Amino acid sequence: MTNMNIKVHHVTRVEGHGNITVNTKDGKVEEVKWEIPESPRFFEAMMRGLHYHDVNHVSPRICGICSLAHSTASIEATEAAFGIQPSEQTILLRKLLFHAETLQSHVLHCYFLAAPDLLNVGSVFPLVETHTDVVLRALRLKKLANDLADLIAGRKTHPLTPVAGGFTKFPEVSQLKAMKQRLVEALPDLDETVKLFKALKMPDFVRETEYIALKKPDEYAFIGGDIASTDTGTTPVTNYLEMTNEFCVPQSTAKFSKHNRNSYMVGALARFNNNYSQLLPKAAKVAEELGLKAPCYNPFMNNIAQVVESVHAVEDALAIIDKLAARGIKPEKPIEKVKAGRGIGAVEAPRGILFHDYTFDEKGILVKANLIIPTNQNHNSIQEDFEAIVSQMIDRPQEEVRQTLEMLVRAYDPCISCSTHLLEVKFT
């Protein structure tokens, strides 16, 4: 029996830094470790003392990839604290903007970060020559999503117009209609995406676990709702601490989470497993075509769930634009209301459920913040998958095991810079 000695320092093609360590001896697992050495950011500590407008401006800087999710969670938490009920127009624009982020993040992840593994190359760059059409299609879809976000938020990375109580600038109906046209024209690109991922073979690995996502009665939830678990049912967002139970582990600068079992998974697959019946018709059909059925216990299928959600996002974006066009866009002034209190915002970032919990004083100055990041919630699940994969593959060549573990990390689409609960680790 050969020994394995895998050490991957800073896994590539993920957002943020993570290390993999595996040691086996004579067919026995000695050590399997998923480490997070990301540098600490300390947002919860350093945002204290900021005015709520600045809190909403700074908190998207937690993560460049999901800055819109952080912006939305931050705004929702602020509105909850102040008792602001956003207008119908605000809710529609917020949802549309959110779909832009889901689409752009999923496309980036599926094509640029995950697909190179399945096509056996080290990055998207060599695909520019060998798979030009694939790369150009990914770029088109990504650009479309970015342009949609730019139109509504003023800028995709670190949005400008979304504020507590509304927006500071509005798209014209004609611009939205032009965007609709482009979304319609992108449908064939999505069909091709489905074909591409149908042809790619996902590793065959199953580990049943708990899946946690937001749930709403009337739609596939991305913003607000209750917290749903495939193990324990739904609970209000105000109980989020009981669901997430963060704890520190010595190998990690990020906190880990557990709920009903040793670990749980969040993200596209968790959303699908909880809310599959609420997918819009095209997306539901795509799920069927790609062989994604709830409950699905293969974490690698998270990539496939992302493809399904990309279709859902475009479908819903088209419907929202129709609604906005029919009712017209009014330049509403953001609702200004400030009072002392606590509010919790929960959204489904592309990579999973995200909580911002703020307490403000009577002037709207942040007194306390707690942020629970999707990737942190997944770390423990990644660790448990690692352990299962290594024992299942113990007689396989080391290189194959290493690649599978790296692929697994990527399948979770971790956004490690996001992991605001980070600290520097000292090994003693």
Partner 1 sequence: MKPKIAFFDFTGCEGCQLEVINFETEIVDLLNLVDIVNFREAMTERSDDYDIAFIDGCISTESDITRIKAIRDQAKILVTIGSCSSLGGVNCLKNFYPMEEVLKVVYGKDAKYYNTIPARPVSAVVPVDYSLPQCPVNRFEFIDLTKAVLLGKKPERPNYPVCVECKLAENGCVFDKGGTCLGPVTRAGCGAICITNGRHCWGCRGLVDEPNINSEKEILKEHGLTVEDMLKKFRIYDGWLEVSK
Catalog residues that contact partner 1 under the rule CB under 8 A: 10, 12-16, 39-42, 44-50, 54, 57-58, 61-65, 67, 108, 112-113, 116, 122-125, 128, 135, 139, 142-143, 146, 154-158, 160-161, 167-169, 248, 250, 253, 417-418, 420-421, 423-426
The pair of structure tokens assigned to 16 is 């943020």
The pair of structure tokens assigned to 376 is 């942190």
Nearer to partner 1, 135 or 227 (CB): 135
Pinpoint the alpha helices (H) of 251-397. Answer: 268-275, 281-289, 302-327, 374-392
Least distance (Å) from partner 1 to the CB of residue 123? 3
Rounded to whole angstroms, how far apart are CA atoms 132 and 150?
A: 26
Least distance (Å) from partner 1 to the CB of residue 141? 10
Q: How many CA atoms lie within 13 A of 361 on its CB side?
A: 8
Nearer to partner 1, 164 or 283 (CB): 164
Please check whether residue 350 is in contact with residue 109, taking contact to mean a CB–CB distance below 8 angstroms. Answer: yes
Q: How far is CA 422 from CA 17, 158, 171, 378, 412, in A?
A: 11, 21, 38, 14, 19
Least distance (Å) from partner 1 to the CB of residue 65? 6
Nearer to partner 1, 67 or 298 (CB): 67
CA angle (267 as vertex; 212, 228 as ends), nearest 5: 20
Nearer to partner 1, 244 or 273 (CB): 244
How many CB atoms are located within 10 Å of the residue 22 CB?
Answer: 24
Least distance (Å) from partner 1 to the CB of residue 28? 29
Least distance (Å) from partner 1 to the CB of residue 41? 7
Least distance (Å) from partner 1 to the CB of residue 409? 12
DSSP 63: -
Nearer to partner 1, 19 or 392 (CB): 19
Rounded to whole angstroms, how far apart are CA atoms 391 and 67?
A: 37
CA gyration radius for the chain?
21
Least distance (Å) from partner 1 to the CB of residue 64? 2
Nearer to partner 1, 10 or 182 (CB): 10
Nearer to partner 1, 204 or 424 (CB): 424
The pair of structure tokens assigned to 387 is 């352990």
